[in-house]
Chains A and B, each alone.
Chain A
Amino acid sequence: MNRAAMNIIRFVGLVIAQILLVNHIRLGGYVHPYIYLIFVMMLPLNTQGWQLLVAGFSIGIVIDLFMGTLGMHAGATTLMAFCRPAIIRIVSGSQKLEMNREPSIDHVGFAWFLRYTICMVIVHNFTYFMLEGFSFHLVGQALLRILISVPVSVFLIIVMMYLFSSNKKKGKD
């Protein structure tokens, strides 16, 4: 499939999945899993810096519109997109990757992808909950939310990736 079309479908699909399904996960009120980050995470490895930033900002602002948190998700995803090249460099180490492909699990391997997901989710959640906490003067609460939400987000993203990758193989073969 055309890469641009693929990304548009992924954008819409992830926004809908986030606001209509994942936002209803509210165990005890502290868990906030965010799976829409997959959109920024799965852009091809050689994506230009400005494209990453624009992609991060746009999905963040759409989520903000739906959740009534104008600026908070956008701020967090933009920072995450900004950190992505550095995170990829750190996570890769000496591992060589094909730069024109997406960092999917079957391309980069499970261990790489898990480290990558954890780093990206931590950057996003830390920024988001701190923005939310500062604007409401509740930093202690924010730290608790980060501690609980990061593992759940990472788990959900990995699960989503397995669903995605099996679908894509069927499409290609």
Chain B
Amino acid sequence: MYNLFRFIQKHHFVILFLVLEALCVWLMTLTQGYHRQKRINTTNDIVGSVYETGTHLGDYFRLSKINRELAEENALLRQQLTVTFDTTKGYQQVVSPDTVYNFIPARVINSTVNRPNNYILIDKGSADGIAKDMGVVSTNGIVGIVADVSQHYASVMSLLHSYSTISVRFKNDEEQIATLRWENTNYRYGLVDGIPTHLRPRPGDTIVTSSYSYIFPENLMAGTVVELIKSPSGTLNQAKVKYATNFATLTNVYVIQHTDLAAIDSLLQLQQVQ
């Protein structure tokens, strides 16, 4: 026993180092994997409030830019208003009449674009009606999916995430769906997988969300094709896509609340049980 104490005393520097490193590795394993990543609550209110204060300070230097963005968005919404209420064609609804979506406005208070898995912190939480798995969009296009909520803040898994796969389709082809994911390189570009060879997307073609998901409404802008990457085996092609959203300059977003989500969830669970 005495020898053990002597040993510890003599090598306490190395032993403490190993203990602390083991602790770090254990902490890292806690946050690996999609479901575990979501379970660990990194969106606590203290962290959120520090970022929020920082954002408020920074806002004074960005006021003109924020104003310009809001003005642009206003213009866009006005334009849509005339389309929606076009008197010659009668009433056109933007989304399908069976589903109802609420858009909750939120402010981005922290975001990353340069990590392998990127998250966006927003200033609305469960108190504002935000829950896990809700879609998030900006004026320009889709942004991500809510991963974690605290009372006043939520953490959004952005499209720039290794687990992010979004069901999309080409705007000029109603039928064929494909998957949009991030290739972990540049925050402006993503990759669409599973394009059948009969489709020949050209650079500049628009990619929108498909109707195969209840997280995002159909027809939301996702990005534009940059180039088609032919598969060497000649089966399913890929396409490099420029995201419609610039994640580095994101300030205002909308969280999409699907009012029938509870019903859909219980149906899906019923399906799994059977």
Contacts and interface: CB of A to CB of B under 8 A. Distances in A.
Given A29-B186, A78-B24, A79-B21, A53 B13 contact: yes
Interface in B140-192: 155, 162, 184-187
A29 B117 contact: no
A135 B32 CA distance: 8
Contacts of A50: 12-13, 16
A32 interface: yes
Interface string A121-152: 00000000001110110100100000000000
A64 B28 CA distance: 10
Interface string A4-26: 00000000000010011001001
B63 interface: no
B40 interface: yes
B28 A57 contact: no
B214 interface: no
B211 interface: no
Contacts of A72: 24, 28
Nearest to A25: B114
B119 interface: yes
B7 interface: no
A23 B54 CA distance: 12
A160 interface: no
A126 to B, nearest CB: 15
Contact of B31 (A20, A32, A71, A82): A71
A64 B27 CA distance: 10
B51 A30 contact: no
B264 interface: no
B222 to A, nearest CB: 19
A28 B21 contact: no
Interface string A67-87: 111111011001100100000
B234 to A, nearest CB: 27
Chain A interface residue count: which class? Answer: 35 or more
Given A29-B114, A30-B114, A132-B115, A65 B28 contact: no
A49 B12 CA distance: 9
Contacts of A23: 112
A57 B114 contact: no
A132 B155 contact: no
Contacts of A43: none
Given A29-B186, A66-B47, A78 B20 contact: yes
B16 A132 contact: no
A26 B118 CA distance: 13
Nearest to B54: A20
A75 B24 CA distance: 5
Contact of A29 (B25, B155, B187): B187
B112 A67 contact: yes
B155 A26 contact: no
Contact of B20 (A19, A53, A65, A70): A53
B114 A26 contact: yes
Contact of B21 (A20, A69, A75, A141): A75
Contacts of B110: 19
Max chain A Cβ within 10 angstroms of own Cβ: one of B47, B116, B248: B116
Nearest to B148: A68
Nearest 7 pairs of A and B residues by beta carbon? A71-B27, A75-B24, A71-B28, A49-B13, A20-B54, A136-B116, A68-B42
Given A30-B114, A132-B115, 20 more contacts: A16-B54, A19-B50, A26-B112, A64-B27, A68-B31, A68-B42, A68-B119, A69-B31, A71-B24, A71-B26, A71-B28, A71-B31, A75-B25, A78-B24, A79-B21, A82-B17, A135-B32, A136-B184, A138-B184, A141-B116
